[in-house]
Structure 1
Amino acid sequence: MLYKEFTVLLNPQSRKIIFGICLNAIGGGMTLSLLLVYLHDMRGFTNTFGGLLLAYGSLVSIIASSPMGALVDRIGPKKVMIGGLLLNSAAAFSLSQVQTHFQAVIVITGLNIAGQAIWPSQSVILTRVTPERDRPKIFGFNFMLLNLGLGVGGLLSSLIIQRGDLLSFQIMYWVDACTFLLYLLIVLTLRGEHVNKYIPKEHEPKTGSYKDLFEIKPLMFLGIAGIILFTFGYGTIQAGIPVFATQFLGLSPKWLGIIFGVNTLSIVIFQPLVMRVIDKYSKYAALIAVGLVWALSWVFVGIAPYLPLFASGIALSLSQFIFAVGEMIQAPTIPTLANELAPEHIRGRANAWMSLQWSVSGVLGPAITGLMLGADLATAWIITMFIGCFLSIPLFLAMKRAAAVAL
């Protein structure tokens, strides 16, 4: 069985963390794609306000990442996660009650601060409780289960949500809030030195700072390259494909479920196979492959307008299958490399630095997409995204050279 090679690597601690992430992803999958719909249809906010709110949330994440990373190093990842999960649960519940613009801003602030508390913390714990040789497979397995949770959550939301029914949306957010509390109960059972503040060995520095982090050149290259790669990947896919498919190609919104469903299902099915393949190559070769594969996915987006309507939907679905292949290469590679390069006493800061890939690309990707598609430059947008996927490759090569010098 393909998944057995993952499950045998799990220990009691990593099993709890991965299960908690999957459980939490179910709540995220229910609400992730419906926030703008909820704010517009149920609360009467404009789509412009909703878009600005999402951009604001990404900016909050960027600002919060540094202090949260330092806090993980200072008091330990478990304590930071506990606070983050409590805040996230309260914010998810509060989202079901928002009635004013100000309330929405406060809730989104809480959600994004909480996210920056949770993600670096769980990455630190998962790294610490997993032997170095097993980390790529564990991060890959974690990514697969994360997508499984998102897929299940999306299916549940489609069963719960009723058009024009406020209560159905509120139930969705209440369930989301409960998943954070369930994850909290799991985190409370974690024991051992791996989940608490790291105690330096005699030969190790007693304290750390972001200055120490910035001096690790390979890690800096990895973070900046990741931001660029994600901007022309995740940042634009989520923002641009729905608009491109429905407004420029004329596809029914129902196609979006198929297009993104192909992506999620591919990851759940093929992650073990992809892990076996990339295990034969260096992590640096894998990183370069991500850019090449994601560029190929944009080729299929580019040919979609020249096909009949049904075939264009198939082309977009294929693009998301190819994009998923790149995701399955990236997911175990970037976090593994980041934690290999990060000293233990600043591991929280290192994972906070890497989390900027998501928050910065969450601002830049939609901004580029919105400007270009808003100006009716769909073809130029696709070409820009295609070229953009190659921009990270020189930085990955520079990272490889810097890592060789460091050794």
Structure 2
Amino acid sequence: MRRIQAGSALSAFGLGFTVPYLYVYVAQVRELGASTAGAVLAVFALAALMVLPFSGRAIDRRGPVPVLLVASVLASLGALGMGLSDSVPAVVASAAVLGAGTAVMQPALATMIVWGSTPATRTRSFAMQFFLQNLGLGVGGLIGGQLVDESRPGSFILLFSIESVMFLVLAAIVLTVRMPGSPALQDRRPGDRPAGGVRALLAHKAMVQLCVLGFVLFFACYGQFESGLAAYGTEAAGIEPSTLGIALAANTAVIVVAQFVVLKFVERRRRSRVIAAVGLIWALAWIVAGYAGLGQGSQAMATAAFISTYALFGLGEAMLSPTVAPLVADLAPEAMVGQYNSAFALVKQLALAVGPAVGGPMGAALHGPYIVTFVLFSLGITVLALRLGKRLTPVQDQPSLAVKPSRVVARHEPEPVKEPAAA
């Protein structure tokens, strides 16, 4: 588990070098325009939609390790190609390879965590992964912000090269991981044929509702980080491109500081209500972003408000990390963990495909409607989360309910064994 978490964090460190600057790189540094930047970011996510339907079954049949190795190499090639591209076809092709590789890495890593954990430790394992990934992402973004220079395309080549190397580092670490032998794998061997498939998943109403909720979550937050919110900040609020890295660092700082404090709170609460609270927090974040673009205060106040938006998003993310991913695992049958993780990753990538295409142009030109739209989407998260809670069993919604009964059973199991022996 330590190796899995370390590799995940280092790959996120590489992503942090480029994530805040993708829009600026394509639109301004390569001078391909805002519409092209939005289209390239959409292609990044669309490529994932092409591979994720097949990755889940491959993970369940072959195991997550070989799938993750292939994905890491693809992502490395895509990152390097992105840095060297100076035309629309080259950027689009590189984005497709990079998007496919990084997308498959998500369910593969998630399945490794599920296989290497127990229901009692799973919540904290996913929280730790999210904590380390965001730490790597934020540190990478902060360092990248000091290296980036819009007047020197070579500085961006350096950023993408570092990202490429980090994906290879992830592959090297994964090669040292030996998954068989873990008690969590006894009933989930890689060779076991998954039963049910897509039809069984679609018949699972709670999972379908969680996927709908997941789409809105990712569309209203992550789908805007790299496109709409960045465009809104630079165009409406007058934010400097280097400030985008500081905003991402603030997002990470909140996660780093709050993650395990929030975890103690979340573990004792119903998951559906925690997600509903996230919707309210994000609605506030979008309102603060709206203030940043009003132009009524000083530039310093606008910058502070914009950075605060990312910080509020970070608080919501810290609440989601020990909630959503473990819920996907708890809903999944043992032989379909990879398929459930891939299905949820597919929903995420669909949101990331639609998000930039919608948010990019709106954030750059339709400032007022952009903010109102995503305030409403955030409030929609609250409504959908409360509806999902009605579909979950008490233990699925609040796993802490199962802790005490399991301890009582464990204490009383030896007693019937000792009595016959004494007789």
* 1:328 corresponds to 2:318: yes
What is the aligned counterpart of 2:65 among 58, 78, 95?
A: 78
Inter-partner Cα distance in structure 1 for 2:179 and 2:210: 30
Contact 1:85 1:184 in 2 (8 A): yes
**Quick one: which amino acid aligns to residue 156 of structure 1?**
I
* 1:138 corresponds to 2:125: yes
Contact 2:68 2:104 in 1 (8 A): yes
Contact 2:328 2:340 in 1 (8 A): yes
What is the aligned counterpart of 2:36 among 24, 49, 55?
A: 49
TM-score, normalising length: structure 2: 0.84
1:379 maps to 368
Q: CA deviation at 1:209?
A: 0.8
Q: CA deviation at 1:123?
A: 0.3
Q: CA deviation at 1:44?
A: 4.8
Structure 1 residues 214-293: aligned runs within 5 Å: 214-293=202-281
TM-score, normalising length: structure 1: 0.87
* 1:16 corresponds to 2:3: yes
Structure 1 residues 344-383: aligned runs within 5 Å: 344-373=334-363, 376-383=365-372
Inter-partner Cα distance in structure 2 for 1:83 and 1:289: 38
Q: CA deviation at 1:373?
A: 4.0
Structure 1 residues 60 and 274, CA gap change in structure 2 (3 angstroms) = same
What is the aligned counterpart of 2:383 among 387, 390, 394?
A: 394
Structure 1 residues 194 and 335, CA gap change in structure 2 (3 angstroms) = farther
Inter-partner Cα distance in structure 2 for 1:194 and 1:90: 33
Q: CA deviation at 1:257?
A: 3.4
Rg (Cα) greater in structure = 2
Q: CA deviation at 1:206?
A: 5.6
Q: CA deviation at 1:367?
A: 3.0
What is the aligned counterpart of 1:307 among 285, 289, 297?
A: 297
Structure 1 residues 381 and 173, CA gap change in structure 2 (3 angstroms) = closer
Contact 2:138 2:251 in 1 (8 A): no
Contact 1:229 1:391 in 2 (8 A): no
Identity rate, percent: 27
SS of the aligned residue for 1:390 comes to: helix
Structure 1's unaligned 5+ residue stretches are 1-13
**Quick one: which amino acid aligns to residue 349 of structure 1?**
Q
Contact 1:29 1:153 in 2 (8 A): yes
SS of the aligned residue for 1:193 comes to: coil
Structure 1 residues 230 and 71, CA gap change in structure 2 (3 angstroms) = same
Structure 1 residues 167 and 364, CA gap change in structure 2 (3 angstroms) = closer
Structure 2's unaligned 5+ residue stretches are 397-423
Q: Encode CA deviations 1:277-312: one digit per residue, 9 max, x unaligned.
A: 222211121111111111121222233324333222
The number of equivalent residue pairs is: 391
Q: Encode CA deviations 1:40-84: one digit per residue, 9 max, x unaligned.
A: 555453443232111112112122211111211121111111111
Q: Encode CA deviations 1:187-207: one digit per residue, 9 max, x unaligned.
A: 111113379998669xx9863
Q: CA deviation at 1:243?
A: 2.5
Structure 1 residues 74 and 174, CA gap change in structure 2 (3 angstroms) = same
Contact 1:295 1:390 in 2 (8 A): yes
Structure 1 residues 206 and 66, CA gap change in structure 2 (3 angstroms) = closer
Structure 1 residues 52 and 210, CA gap change in structure 2 (3 angstroms) = same
Inter-partner Cα distance in structure 2 for 1:42 and 1:302: 27
Contact 2:262 2:318 in 1 (8 A): yes
Structure 1 residues 233 and 122, CA gap change in structure 2 (3 angstroms) = same
Measured on the aligned residues, the alpha-carbon RMSD in Å equals 2.7
1:165 maps to 152
What is the aligned counterpart of 2:172 among 147, 167, 185?
A: 185
What is the aligned counterpart of 1:124 among 84, 104, 111?
A: 111
Structure 1 residues 184 and 314, CA gap change in structure 2 (3 angstroms) = same
Inter-partner Cα distance in structure 2 for 1:406 and 1:266: 29
Structure 1 residues 273 and 111, CA gap change in structure 2 (3 angstroms) = same
Contact 2:116 2:185 in 1 (8 A): no
1:28 maps to 15
Structure 1 residues 319 and 109, CA gap change in structure 2 (3 angstroms) = closer
1:4 maps to none
